[in-house]
């Protein structure tokens, strides 16, 4: 029986290793070293049900950057128990810092010009400027705002839009569904759409998900039905993420 169980584990591992896409890991893919060593600073241990997209979304980083610093090929399968780095190694960081310092060495005149340019940039950036984007954004739902975005620690990472259970939730722009599931705590039934290499949009608390991962969607296409999964009242929690980090959706959506 032990030999049979071992063979089953090996075969399962080979089947999982041949899969493509950011497939969720399962208990069957747990390695012998699972939970053996403590997770260090800037590390994350993959849990059953995780995908690379979901991990990156939870951590607020770009999933491509997460794949790069962990030397993962595109569409690589991750496995439960695996420890991922969430930031580049200290050595790589020091190398980049030295390069920046070397490149930043200037003559006094250059420093003066640089300081003037920086001051001008700071003054310009202090003015409320609508962020530039090549994407033509649209509202995912027509309901009233329940809560706005907050950049504070622990604040709202998007906007909450009121509605009734079953109301259509529409894609804010054309893109590809990179996540459709309920594996992120606090988001309920969640859809994440990649619009280009820079922007993602997320639609949470849905009662039903109407799309699947890797599906192409058009702007305005219904991707889910509004609900209250993971929420106290029916609502759509909507986020826009730029390079993995939450930004204020009201800076991109058309003014009402």
Q: Which residues contact 146 (CB under 8 A, 6 or more apart)?
A: 160, 161, 162, 233, 235
Q: What pLDDT, on the 0 to 100 scale, is given for residue 135?
A: 94
**Averaging pLDDT over each range in 72-76, 104-108, 184-188, which range is the top one?**
184-188
Using the 8-state DSSP alphabet, how is residue 29 labeled? G
Strand partners, 199: 242
Per-residue pLDDT of 150-170, as tens digits, reads: 999 899 999 999 999 999 999
pLDDT digits (tens, 9 = 90+) for 214-236: 999 999 999 999 999 999 999 99
d(CA 189, CA 176): 17
Residue 30 confidence (pLDDT) above 90:
no
**Which pLDDT value is given to residue 134?**
86
Residue 134 vs residue 18, higher pLDDT: 134
């Amino acid at each position: 029986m032990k030999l049979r169980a071992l063979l089953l584990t090996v075969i399962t591992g080979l089947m999982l290793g041949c899969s493509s896409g950011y497939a969720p890991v399962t208990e069957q893919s747990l390695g012998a070293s699972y939970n053996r060593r403590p997770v260090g600073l800037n590390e994350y241990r993959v849990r059953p049900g995780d995908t690379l997209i979901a991990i990156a979304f939870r951590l607020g980083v770009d999933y491509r950057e997460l794949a790069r610093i962990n030397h993962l090929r595109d569409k690589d399968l991750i496995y439960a128990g695996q420890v991922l780095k969430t930031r580049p190694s200290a050595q790589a960081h020091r190398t980049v810092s030295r390069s920046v310092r070397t490149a930043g060495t200037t003559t006094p005149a250059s420093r003066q010009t640089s300081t003037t340019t920086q001051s001008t940039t700071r003054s310009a950036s202090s003015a409320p400027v609508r962020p530039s984007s090549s994407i033509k954004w649209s509202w995912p739902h027509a309901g009233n705002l329940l809560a706005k975005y907050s950049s504070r620690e622990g604040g709202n990472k998007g906007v909450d839009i009121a509605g009734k259970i079953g109301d259509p939730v529409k894609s804010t722009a054309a893109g590809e569904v990179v996540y459709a599931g309920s594996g992120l705590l606090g988001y309920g039934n969640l859809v994440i759409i990649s619009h280009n290499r820079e922007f993602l949009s997320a639609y949470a608390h849905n009662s039903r998900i109407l799309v699947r991962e890797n599906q192409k969607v058009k702007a305005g296409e219904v991707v889910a039905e509004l609900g209250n999964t993971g929420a106290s009242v029916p609502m759509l929690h909507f986020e826009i993420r730029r390079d993995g980090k939450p930004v204020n959706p009201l800076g991109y959506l058309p003014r009402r």
